[in-house]
Every structure is written in C-alpha cells, then in structure tokens.
C-alpha cells in the first residue's frame, strides 16, 4: 500500500464482511424452513428471509467492489483518492440505506420485485451513493495515471450504475417489467460485474505474480471483449418464456452458450500468470482465492450456466432447483471469491501486518468452497429429479417437493458448513494471529 487514502477501503471491507455473515445466516435459516416448514413462520416468513438473504448478498458484494476500487484506484492512478471524506460519508449512507431496507422488510414494506424489493426512496438513495462513488473514483483516475485496469474497472462501475437505473422503471405490463428487470440482473452479473471481476483479477495478478503489465493488459482486453460480445445478447436466455418474440430463443441460446468463453479465458489467464510468474508471493491465501475465483466462476457460471441455457433444455428446467444450484455456485465463485481474494490481499497491507492467519484463512477457503460445492450438487440432483417428475411426468409441485426432502437436508448440512467457513474467513481477516500480536507487542515494547 502506497497511499494513505487507500485505508478508506477498510470501512467497506468491514461492512461487507459483517453483511456476508448475515447473508449466510439467513441462508441457513431458510434452508431450515425448507425442511421444517413452520420454523419461524409467524415471526419471519420465508419470503421476508429470502429478501434479506439476497439483498444482503448484493449489498455486500457491491460494498466489497467499492472497497476494492478505493484500494486499487489510488495505487493504479498513483495519487491519493480525490476525497476520503466523501468516501466515508458514502459508506455510512449506503449502510444506512441497506439497514433501512432490511428494517422495512421486517415490517413487510417492500416493492416485491425479486432483488429490487427496496422502496423507491431507498433506490434513489442508492443512486446518490453511486454518484458520490463514481465522482470520487473518476476524479482520481482523471487526475492520475490511466491504466487499462482503471479504464476497465471504471467502465464496469459506471455500467453498474447505469443499469441500476432500469430498476426505477416498473411498467405495469408484465412482459416489459421482466424484460427490463433482467437489464439490471443479467447485465450486471454477466456484463458489467464481469468487467469488475476481470480488472480486479488483473490487478491481483500484476501484484502477486510479477508478470509484466503489458501481458496482463492484453489478457484483460481479450476477456472483456469476449464478455461484452457474448453477455449483452446473452440476455436473450431470459427471454424464452416471458412473452417476448420467439426469435429470442435463438439469440439467447447461441450467445449465452458462448458466455462460457470469457470465464474460461479467466481461468487460463490466472493459472497461466501464476505458472509463469511463480508463486513466491508471501500472501499464499490471496493467491489461492484468486485462482479459486476464476475456477469456481468457470464451473458456477460457465458450466452450470451452460447446462440449462439452451432454450430446448431451459423449457424443462426453468425455475427449478437447477436454477438455484447455478445461482449459488456462480455468485459464490465469481463475486464472493473475488471480493475475499481482494480483502485477503489488501487487508494485511492496510493494517501493516505481514500476511497473517494464512492457514486459518485457507481452512476457511476449503470449508466454504466445499460447502458451496456440496450444496450445488445437492440442489442439482434435486433439480434434475424435480424437472423429471414435475416437467416431464407432470406431477404437481407439492407432490414433487415431498420427494426432494433428502436433498434439502443435505443442502442444509452444506449450508451449516458454509456458515462455519464464513466465520473462519471473517475471523482470519479481522483478528490478528497470536504470533502477529506477539510480534507487534514486541515492536511496541521495543519502541517504548
């Protein structure tokens, strides 16, 4: 870390980690409801828990991206952040908005569109937060050194804000409603978020492998070209059965099938860079998360996405547990792991510690990743059985659900493992290791 203002990222990392725990906790509660249906049904109905679960996920991932940007951009632009104060105000406003939304949900105040349940005024507050953020980072980049990484990162971050604007548009025509809903949801995770992912991974590769910036930049261009080429028209894979014209089945199938390639390119990129540049960097845990990120994203988004993306297959699997399996592995692999990679890399630098608690952090990696992988398998099996019984045999929904009990118990078990792993990760990042503590105390004593 070279610049004082990079420290402001700590607010965002801390907030993100707290919400990460909350998100997983609510997930475990919901996993319990699925097998014990009346659990908490009066206090916290399932639909409310689901809102908290998904909103906490999105908010902490975004909060993490903000933190990543505040850490990365001064270093790349080679100058202090435009305004640290603005970044701090922005953090509290964002946290307040998120908290207000959750409290509202508990009192059943929401707009009821999945992911976009926030009441209008909170959505507007989020837009303000985004503008404060974009102003701050854009000014920093404009005044400083411009690199491919900052250009792509800014493109992604501006894109996030622009596409969020479509959440304000809520037409009464259900087809249009869904069409534009996907402009937020799909064009985020399979468009502009992917640009953020590619640029942050590129930054981590430059920092940790020592491969030349020129080489990393070429890969970055390749990845984002493939992302935009496939991801934009790939939106069509959500336009199969919502009342949009039939030709979307062709457009969606062809382009979204190719969405595997940018994710594949990221795997080749990260593994090749690490192989070429050597693994001598002391922060082994951050390197593990970076490689894990591209690999899990490839499986979650690429392979599990492809599995049900062709229209003739999606005709049967649409909205089954197959979708849930894919959603979990993709979000975890691409964006959870990306954030944790960056946190693991940046937090020791900000806190001026040597990379610490690496072993604990890596335990967190394996337990959480193992848990999510196992959950994905359980849900995939559930989804395949469900697709067969419900969509092929034509059994009714609740009858089929009864058949899936075993898978749901397995999923709950996996969820508990994920919760344990999450706590390990947060612990390893937040609490200095005993050796570290001893060292810094020794340092203090010597100074006295």
Partner 1 sequence: MNAKLKDNAEWGALSALPGNPMIWILIISELVVFGLALIGFMAMRFLKPEIFATGQAALDYWLGGLNTMFLITSGWCAARAVHARSRDQRQKARLWLGGAGMFGAAFLVVKLVEWSEKLSQGHDIAFDAFFTLFYLITGFHAAHVVMGLAILAIVGWWDSLENLKTGTAFWHMVDLIWLIIFPVIYLARGL
Residues that bind partner 1 (CB under 8 A): 146, 148, 151, 212, 214-215, 217-218, 221-222, 225-226, 229-230, 245-247, 250-251, 253-255, 257-258
Is the C-alpha dihedral spanning 373, 378, 383, 384 positive or negative?
A: positive
What one-character DSSP code corresponds to residue 204? Answer: H
Residue of 217, 151, 148, 160 lying closest to 190 (CA atoms)? 160
Q: Which residue lies nearest ligand HEM, judged by its C-beta?
A: 305
Site string for Fe ion, 187-206 (x = CB under 5 A): ---x----------------
Please say which residue, 223 or 347, places its beta carbon nearer to ligand HEM: 223
User: Residue 356 is inside which H or E element, if any?
Assistant: none
What is the phi/psi pair of residue 43, to 5°? -70, -50
Q: Which of 190, 211, 343, 425 touches ligand HEM by CB under 6 A?
A: 190
Residues near 174 by beta carbon (within 8 Å), at least 6 away in sequence: 242, 243
Instruction: Decide if residue 329 touches ligand HEM (CB under 6 A).
Output: no
What one-character DSSP code corresponds to residue 348? Answer: H
Instruction: Decide if residue 301 touches ligand HEM (CB under 6 A).
Output: yes
Residues 418 and 371: beta-carbon distance below 8 Å: yes
Q: Is 107 exposed, middle or buried (0-12, 13-18, 19+ CB in 10 A)?
A: exposed
Partner whose footprint covers residue 130, from partner 1, ligand HEM, Fe ion, none (CB < 5 to 8 Å by kind): none
Residues 163 and 191: beta-carbon distance below 8 Å: yes
Partner whose footprint covers residue 313, from Fe ion, ligand HEM, partner 1, none (CB < 5 to 8 Å by kind): none
Please say which residue, 146 or 437, places its beta carbon nearer to partner 1: 146
# of chain residues touching Fe ion (CB under 5 A):
2
Site string for Fe ion, 152-191 (x = CB under 5 A): ----------------------------------x---x-
Q: Cα(91)–Cα(11) distance, rounded to whole angstroms?
A: 7
Q: Which of 53, 123, 308, 411 touches ligand HEM by CB under 6 A?
A: 308
Please say which residue, 222 or 303, places its beta carbon nearer to partner 1: 222
Q: Cα(243)–Cα(33) distance, rounded to whole angstroms?
A: 33
Residues 235 and 252: beta-carbon distance below 8 Å: yes
Instruction: Decide if residue 309 touches ligand HEM (CB under 6 A).
Output: yes
**Binding stretches for ligand HEM (CB under 6 A):** 114, 189-190, 237, 256, 259-260, 297, 301-302, 305-306, 308-309, 314, 318-319, 323, 326-327, 330-331, 334
**Binding stretches for Fe ion (CB under 5 A):** 186, 190
């Amino acid at each position: 870390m070279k610049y004082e203002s990079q420290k402001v990222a700590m607010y965002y990392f801390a907030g993100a980690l707290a919400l990460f725990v909350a998100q997983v906790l609510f997930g475990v509660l919901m996993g319990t409801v699925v097998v014990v249906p009346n659990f908490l049904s009066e206090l916290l109905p399932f639909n409310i828990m689901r809102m908290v679960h998904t909103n906490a996920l999105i908010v902490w991932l975004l909060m993490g991206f903000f933190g990543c940007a505040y850490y990365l951009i001064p270093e790349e632009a080679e100058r202090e952040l435009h305004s640290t104060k603005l970044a701090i105000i922005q953090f509290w406003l964002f946290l307040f908005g998120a908290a207000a939304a959750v409290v509202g949900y508990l009192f059943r105040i929401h707009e009821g569109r999945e992911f976009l349940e926030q009441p209008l005024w909170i959505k507007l507050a989020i837009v303000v937060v985004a503008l404060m953020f974009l102003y701050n980072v854009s000014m920093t980049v404009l005044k400083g050194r411009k690199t491919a990484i900052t250009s792509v990162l800014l493109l992604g971050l501006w894109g996030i804000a622009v596409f969020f604007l479509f959440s304000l548009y809520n037409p009464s025509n259900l087809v249009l409603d869904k069409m534009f809903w996907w402009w937020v949801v799909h064009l985020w995770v399979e468009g502009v978020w992917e640009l953020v992912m590619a640029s942050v991974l590129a930054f981590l590769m430059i920092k940790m492998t020592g491969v030349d910036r020129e080489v990393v930049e070429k890969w970055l261009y390749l990845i984002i070209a493939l992302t935009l080429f496939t991801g934009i028209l790939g939106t069509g894979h959500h336009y199969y059965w919502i009342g949009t014209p039939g030709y979307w089945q062709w457009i969606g199938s062809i382009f979204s099938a190719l969405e595997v390639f940018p994710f594949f390119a990221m795997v080749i990129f990260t593994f090749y860079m690490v192989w070429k540049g050597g693994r001598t960097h002391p922060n082994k845990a951050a390197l593990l998360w970076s490689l894990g990120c591209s690999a899990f994203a490839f499986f979650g988004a690429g392979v599990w996405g492809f599995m049900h993306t062709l229209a003739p297959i999606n005709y049967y699997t649409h909205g089954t547990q197959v979708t849930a399996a894919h959603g979990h592995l993709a979000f975890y692999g691409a964006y959870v792991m990306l954030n944790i990679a960056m946190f693991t890399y940046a937090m020791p630098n900000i806190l001026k510690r040597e990379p610490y608690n690496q072993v604990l952090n890596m335990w967190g990696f394996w337990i959480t990743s193992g848990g999510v992988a196992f959950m994905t398998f359980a849900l995939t099996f559930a989804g395949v059985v469900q697709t067969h019984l419900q969509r092929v045999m034509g059994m009714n929904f609740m009858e089929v659900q009864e058949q899936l009990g075993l898978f749901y118990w397995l999923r709950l078990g996996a969820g508990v493992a994920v919760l344990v792993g999450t706590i390990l990760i947060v612990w390893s990042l937040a609490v200095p290791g005993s050796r570290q503590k001893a060292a810094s105390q020794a340092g203090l004593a010597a100074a006295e």
